[in-house]
C-alpha cells in the first residue's frame, strides 16, 4: 500500500517527501506535475522490481481510460527532471514490453527519523527467504552493473550504519548495533549469493547479447561462430547438420557429422541460398537458390549434380512424410497490380503440379507444413507490413482446398514451423509484435494451445527438428548497424557517429533524426551530425520509424504501431505534443511537401498513396494504384514513386505531376533491382537518388532526369544499406549501414507434454 504521509525516500542527491508531495534535489524543490510525482512515488515504493505498465496505468488513472502515451510522457518528464538518461539509466530502467524498474539505491526514512529499509520492497512483511532476499540480490545486481567494486561494499555498510545511528533517540545502542550487524551480514550474504548464482537471475534485458537463454526446458549449444550461417537443417536421425555459409555474395552448403564435428562442403558457393530441408528418408537434401529467380533443387548426400525440381517459388517449402510430394508457395501480380499467392503441390521431381488455394494481398500465405497424416497443409496467413498482429495459422485440405483457421491467436510474423517427433505439438519460430524478437513457441496438437518457450535477445530465423531424435537446430541473428555521415563530396569516407536501425532524415539545421534501439525499444532520437547533443524523442514499447521533418523544423512526422498497426503521427521537434493523424488502414512511409502543408504516405493494405494535412483531418486519395515510397520534388510540382507501368512489367520509378496526370518519366533499373524504401530528389530537382542491388552488393546511385546512365555514388560491399539521406542543402550525406550476423545453435530437451 502507499506510504504517503509516513516516509521520506532518499536516493542519490534526491529526497522524496510523501507528506508534502515534493521532490528535493540537495534541499531545493524539483518542479513535478502531480501525475509525474505519483509515477515516481510508485516506482520508488517498488524500487528494485519491475512495475508493469498495466499496474502503473491502473494506479495513476484508476477507472479511467487513457492512452499509453500519457505514461510514456510521464516517464520522459521524470527522466528529464532527474537528469536521467534512458540509454544509461541511473534511476529508471525500461524493461522492454513489460514496464519500468527504479534501479537506484533507496533509503526509506520513517517520519520518526528511523531507517525502514535500505532498498526495495518493505521487508517488515517479508522473510529473508522471500521477496526481501530477492531485493537484496537485485541491489547487488544494480551495484555490479554500475561498476561498483567490492571495496565499496564496506563503504555501503558504513553508510548504512551511520543512517541507523541517526535514530538513536528511538532505538537503543544495542538495537542499532544489532541492526547494523544484520545489515552487514545481509550485504555479505547477498554478495556471496550474487557471485555464485546472481548472473543466472539476470533479467533478459540485462543479458549479454551473445548469451543463450537456458529455459527450464531447453538447452542450447552453439554450433557455428562465423556469423555466416543463415539456414540450417538437421537430418531425421539427428546425426547430421546441413548449414549454409556465405562468402561475399555467394552461399555454399556444408554437411557436419555432429558426433565427430567433421565438415564437408556438398554444394559449392555459387549463388545465394534461402532454405534447406532433409527428405524424410535422409538420403536427399532440398534447397532453394536465387538463379536469379528462386528455384528448388535436391542433392544426394552421397554426391552428384543437384536436380532442379520447381521454379519461381517464394522460398519456403515442405516435404510430405513419404517424400513423394512437395508443398510450396508462389506469388505473382494480378491485373490490378496487386500480389496474389498460390499454395501448390507437386511430385518430388516437379511433375503434376496443382494449385490448392489462391489468395490476394494482404492475405499472404507462407511457411507450409504437412499435417501428421499428409491430408492437409498447415500454413500462415496474413500480412506484416501493417505493423500489427494479423498472421494466423490455417489448415488447407489437400483433397479439395477447403481452409479453416486453427487458432484465434495471431502473430506479427511466423517464420518457420516444425513437428516434434511424437506429433504432440509443433514448434514455431514467430513473434507476436513487430518490436519483439522471433522466439520459439510450442503449439499443442490437436488443441492448438500456444505457449512461449524462449526469451532470447537474438532473434531466431530458421528452424529444423529431427523426426526421430527430437533435437533441433535453429539460426539466430545479430544486427550491427549505425549511421555514417560526412561531406557528400567524399561519400566513401563517411564517419560512423551512432547506433541506428533504419530510416533517417535531416533537419534544415544539420541535425539527424533516426530510430535506435539504445533504449531497447525502437524509438526516435535526434543528434548533431558530429554525435553531440544526442537526445531521445519518443519512449514507448512500440516501433517508431520513418521520420520526416518539415522545412521550418517545426514538426517531425513519423510512423508508429503503438495503436496496434502503423499509423502516421506528428510531434514537435523536441518530441513533445505527439499526435496521431491517421487511424484507418495501416499507413507508412510518410513524406512532407516542401511547403510543410501536406503529408504523403502509403496505405500498406493496397500500397496506394494518400495525403493528409499536417494539421490532421480527412485523408485524400492521391494515387489509386500500387505506388510505393512517394517522394516530392523540391518545388512541389512532381512526385516520384516506385511502381509498374502495367502488371506484367518490371518495377520502375515513375515521375508524375503532383496534381495528377500520366507519368512524364520512367526510370528502369538496368543491371539490378531497387533496394530499400527510399527515393530522394536532388536539392535542385534535376536528379533522383536511390539504391539498387546487383545480386548481392547494394549500390547508391544518382540518375539524372535528362537521361544517361546512373552515376554510382557508393558501393556498400558486404554491408547492407538500410537507408540514406542528403542534407537539405546537399552538402552532407548520412547512411544507415551494417550487417546481419547469423549462427546456428543446437536445441535439446523440448518439453514432451
DSSP string, 293-323: SEEEEEEETT--PPEEEEES--S-EEE-TTS
With a pLDDT cut of 70, the percent of the chain lying above it is 83
Encode pLDDT of 330-374 as tens digits: 998 888 788 999 999 999 999 999 999 999 999 999 999 999 999
Q: Output b/e per residue, 217-249; b: 16+ Cβ within 10 A.
A: ebebeebbeeebbbbbbbbbebbbbbbbbbeee
Q: What are phi and psi of 141, to 5 degrees?
A: -60, -45
Q: How confident is the model at residue 272 (pLDDT cuts 50, 70, 90)?
A: confident
Encode pLDDT of 132-145 as tens digits: 322 222 322 222 32
Domain-embedded: residue 700: yes
- Whether residues 374 and 495 share a domain: the answer is no
Domain-embedded: residue 212: no
Domain-embedded: residue 140: yes
Among 1-15, 258-272, 289-303, 695-709, the least confident range: 1-15
Q: How many domains does the chain have?
A: 3
- Whether residues 485 and 417 share a domain: the answer is no
Which one is predicted more confidently, 345 or 198? 345
- The neighbour count for residue 170, using CB atoms within 10 Å, is 11
Q: What are phi and psi of 313, to 5 degrees?
A: -95, 170
Judge whether 604 and 587 are in contact, CB under 8 Å: yes
Average pLDDT of the chain? 83
What per-residue confidence (pLDDT) applies to 398?
A: 97
Which region, left, alpha or beta, applies to residue 253 given φ > 0 means left and ψ of -120 to 50 means alpha? beta
What's the Cα-to-Cα distance from 568 to each of 116, 612, 616, rounded to whole Å? 49, 10, 10
Question: Can you say how many angstroms the Cα of residue 295 is from the centroid of all Cα atoms in its chain?
Answer: 30
pLDDT for 149 beyond 80 = no
pTM as predicted: 0.70
- Assign residue 193 the CATH number of its domain: 1.10.10.10
What per-residue confidence (pLDDT) applies to 695?
A: 61
What per-residue confidence (pLDDT) applies to 122?
A: 33
User: 3-state DSSP call for residue 80?
Assistant: helix
- Whether residues 168 and 249 share a domain: the answer is no
- Whether residues 407 and 338 share a domain: the answer is yes
Domain-embedded: residue 658: yes
- Whether residues 403 and 495 share a domain: the answer is no
Among 305-309, 518-522, 614-618, the least confident range: 518-522
What per-residue confidence (pLDDT) applies to 753?
A: 61
What per-residue confidence (pLDDT) applies to 168?
A: 38
- Whether residues 120 and 225 share a domain: the answer is no
pLDDT for 493 beyond 60 = yes
With a pLDDT cut of 90, the percent of the chain lying above it is 60
Domain span including residue 94 = 7-206
Instruction: Name the burial class of residue 670, with classes exposed (0-12), middle (13-18) and buried (19+) by CB atoms within 10 angstroms of its CB.
Output: exposed
Residue with the three cell numbers 535506435: 516
User: 3-state DSSP call for residue 58?
Assistant: helix
Domain-embedded: residue 2: no
What per-residue confidence (pLDDT) applies to 154?
A: 31
Q: How confident is the model at residue 648 (pLDDT cuts 50, 70, 90)?
A: confident
Residue 710 DSSP label: P
- Whether residues 729 and 632 share a domain: the answer is yes
CA end-to-end span of the chain: 40
User: 3-state DSSP call for residue 77?
Assistant: helix
- Whether residues 578 and 714 share a domain: the answer is yes
- Whether residues 257 and 392 share a domain: the answer is yes
Among 361, 390, 367, residue whose Cα is nearest residue 647:
361
User: What is the radius of gyration, based on Cα positions, of the chain?
Assistant: 29
Cell of 47: 524500487
pLDDT for 1 beyond 80 = no
What per-residue confidence (pLDDT) applies to 411?
A: 97
Helix (H) or strand (E) holding 42: helix 34-45
What per-residue confidence (pLDDT) applies to 692?
A: 92
What per-residue confidence (pLDDT) applies to 713?
A: 94
pLDDT for 432 beyond 80 = yes
User: 3-state DSSP call for residue 446?
Assistant: coil
Domain-embedded: residue 695: yes
What per-residue confidence (pLDDT) applies to 19?
A: 76
What's the Cα-to-Cα distance from 694 to each of 394, 644, 667, 669, rounded to whole Å? 36, 20, 16, 10
Mean pLDDT of 709-714: 92
Among 310, 360, 9, 57, residue whose Cα is nearest residue 163:
9
Enumerate residues 6+ apart whose C-beta is below 8 A from 245. Answer: 226, 228, 229, 251, 252, 253, 254, 269
Q: How confident is the model at residue 7 (pLDDT cuts 50, 70, 90)?
A: low
Cell of 185: 551480514
- Whether residues 625 and 585 share a domain: the answer is yes
- Assign residue 605 the CATH number of its domain: 2.120.10.30
> Between the ranges 174-183, 493-502, 526-535, 566-575, where is the mean pLDDT highest?
566-575
Encode pLDDT of 603-639 as tens digits: 999 999 999 999 999 999 999 999 999 999 999 999 9
CA–CA distance, 450 with 460 (Å, rounded to integer): 17
Q: What are phi and psi of 724, to 5 degrees?
A: -150, 165
CA–CA distance, 292 with 272 (Å, rounded to integer): 9
Domain-embedded: residue 211: no
- Assign residue 311 the CATH number of its domain: 2.130.10.10
Domain-embedded: residue 214: no
Q: How confident is the model at residue 473 (pLDDT cuts 50, 70, 90)?
A: very high
pLDDT for 326 beyond 70 = yes
Mean pLDDT of 36-58: 90
Q: How confident is the model at residue 752 (pLDDT cuts 50, 70, 90)?
A: low
- Whether residues 727 and 602 share a domain: the answer is yes
pLDDT for 188 beyond 90 = no
What per-residue confidence (pLDDT) applies to 110?
A: 58
What per-residue confidence (pLDDT) applies to 394?
A: 97
- Whether residues 141 and 232 share a domain: the answer is no
Amino acid at each position: 500500500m502507499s506510504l504517503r504521509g509516513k516516509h521520506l525516500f532518499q536516493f542519490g542527491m534526491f529526497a522524496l517527501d510523501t507528506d508534502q508531495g515534493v521532490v528535493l534535489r540537495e534541499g531545493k524543490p524539483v518542479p513535478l506535475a502531480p501525475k509525474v510525482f505519483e509515477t515516481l512515488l510508485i516506482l520508488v515504493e517498488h524500487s528494485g522490481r519491475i512495475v508493469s505498465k498495466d499496474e502503473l496505468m491502473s494506479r495513476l488513472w484508476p477507472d479511467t481510460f487513457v492512452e499509453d502515451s500519457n505514461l510514456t510522457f510521464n516517464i520522459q518528464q521524470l527522466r528529464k527532471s532527474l537528469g536521467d538518461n534512458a540509454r544509461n539509466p541511473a534511476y529508471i530502467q525500461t524493461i522492454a514490453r513489460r514496464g519500468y524498474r527504479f534501479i537506484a539505491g533507496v533509503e526509506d526514512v520513517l517520519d520518526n527519523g528511523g531507517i525502514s529499509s535500505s532498498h526495495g520492497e518493505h521487508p517488515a512483511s517479508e522473510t529473508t527467504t522471500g521477496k526481501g532476499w530477492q531485493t537484496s540480490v537485485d541491489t547487488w545486481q544494480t551495484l555490479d552493473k554500475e561498476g561498483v567494486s567490492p571495496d565499496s561494499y564496506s563503504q555501503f555498510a558504513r553508510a548504512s550504519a551511520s543512517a541507523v545511528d541517526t535514530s538513536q533517540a528511538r532505538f537503543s545502542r544495542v538495537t542499532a548495533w544489532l541492526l547494523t550487524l544484520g545489515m552487514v551480514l545481509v550485504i555479505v550474504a547477498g554478495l556471496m549469493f550474487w557471485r555464485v548464482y546472481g548472473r543466472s537471475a539476470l533479467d533478459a534485458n540485462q543479458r549479454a547479447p551473445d548469451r543463450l537463454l537456458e529455459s527450464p526446458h531447453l538447452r542450447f549449444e552453439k554450433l557455428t561462430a562465423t556469423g555466416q550461417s543463415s539456414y540450417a537443417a538437421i537430418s531425421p536421425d539427428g546425426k547430421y547438420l546441413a548449414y549454409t555459409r556465405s562468402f561475399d555474395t555467394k552461399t555454399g552448403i556444408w554437411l557436419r557429422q555432429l558426433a565427430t564435428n567433421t565438415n564437408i562442403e556438398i554444394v559449392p558457393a555459387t549463388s545465394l541460398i534461402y532454405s534447406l530441408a532433409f527428405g524424410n528418408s535422409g538420403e536427399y537434401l532440398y534447397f532453394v537458390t536465387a538463379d536469379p529467380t528462386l528455384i528448388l533443387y535436391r542433392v544426394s548426400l552421397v554426391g552428384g549434380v543437384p536436380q532442379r525440381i520447381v521454379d519461381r517459388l517464394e522460398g519456403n517449402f515442405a516435404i510430405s512424410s513419404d517424400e513423394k510430394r512437395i508443398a510450396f508457395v508462389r506469388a505473382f501480380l494480378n491485373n490490378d497490380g496487386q500480389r496474389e499467392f498460390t499454395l501448390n503441390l507437386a511430385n518430388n521431381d516437379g511433375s503434376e503440379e496443382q494449385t490448392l488455394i489462391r489468395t490476394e494481398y494482404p492475405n499472404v500465405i507462407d511457411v507450409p507444413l504437412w499435417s501428421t497424416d499428409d491430408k492437409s497443409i498447415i500454413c500462415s496467413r496474413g500480412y506484416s507490413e501493417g505493423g500489427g498482429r494479423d498472421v494466423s495459422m490455417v489448415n488447407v485440405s489437400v483433397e479439395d482446398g477447403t481452409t479453416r483457421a486453427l487458432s484465434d491467436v495471431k502473430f506479427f510474423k511466423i517464420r518457420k514451423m516444425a513437428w516434434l517427433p511424437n506429433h504432440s505439438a509443433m514448434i514455431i519460430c514467430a513473434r507476436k509484435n513487430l518490436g519483439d524478437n522471433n522466439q520459439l513457441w510450442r503449439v499443442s496438437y490437436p488443441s492448438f494451445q500456444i505457449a512461449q518457450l524462449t526469451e532470447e535477445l537474438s532473434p531466431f530465423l530458421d528452424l529444423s527438428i529431427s523426426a526421430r531424435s527430437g533435437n533441433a537446430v535453429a539460426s539466430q541473428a545479430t544486427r550491427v548497424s549505425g549511421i555514417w555521415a560526412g561531406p557528400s563530396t567524399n561519400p566513401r569516407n563517411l564517419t560512423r557517429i551512432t547506433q541506428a536501425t533504419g530510416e533517417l532524415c535531416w533537419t534544415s539545421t544539420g541535425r539527424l533524426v533516426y530510430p535506435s534501439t539504445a533504449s531497447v525499444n525502437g524509438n526516435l532520437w535526434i543528434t548533431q551530425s558530429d554525435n553531440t547533443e544526442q537526445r531521445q524523442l519518443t519512449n514507448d514499447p512500440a516501433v517508431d520509424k520513418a521520420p520526416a521533418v518539415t522545412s521550418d523544423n517545426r514538426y517531425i512526422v513519423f510512423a508508429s504501431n503503438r495503436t496496434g498497426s502503423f499509423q502516421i503521427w506528428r510531434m514537435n521537434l523536441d518530441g513533445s505534443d505527439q499526435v496521431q493523424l491517421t487511424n484507418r488502414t495501416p499507413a507508412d512511409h510518410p513524406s512532407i511537401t516542401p511547403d510543410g502543408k501536406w503529408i504523403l504516405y502509403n496505405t500498406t493494405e493496397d500500397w496506394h498513396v494518400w495525403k493528409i494535412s499536417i494539421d490532421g483531418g480527412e485523408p485524400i486519395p492521391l494515387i489509386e494504384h500500387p505506388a510505393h515510397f512517394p517522394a516530392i520534388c523540391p518545388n512541389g510540382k512532381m512526385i516520384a514513386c516506385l511502381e509498374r507501368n502495367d502488371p506484367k512489367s518490371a518495377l520502375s520509378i515513375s515521375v508524375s505531376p503532383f496534381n495528377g496526370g500520366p507519368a512524364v518519366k520512367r526510370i528502369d533499373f538496368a543491371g539490378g533491382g531497387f533496394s530499400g524504401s527510399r527515393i530522394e530528389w536532388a536539392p535542385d530537382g534535376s536528379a533522383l537518388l536511390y539504391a539498387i542491388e546487383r545480386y548481392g552488393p547494394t549500390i547508391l546511385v544518382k540518375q539524372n532526369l535528362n537521361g544517361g546512365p546512373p552515376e554510382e555514388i557508393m558501393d556498400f560491399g558486404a554491408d547492407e544499406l538500410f537507408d540514406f539521406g542528403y542534407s537539405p542543402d546537399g552538402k552532407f550525406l548520412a547512411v544507415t549501414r551494417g550487417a546481419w550476423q547469423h549462427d546456428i545453435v543446437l536445441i535439446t530437451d523440448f518439453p514432451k507434454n
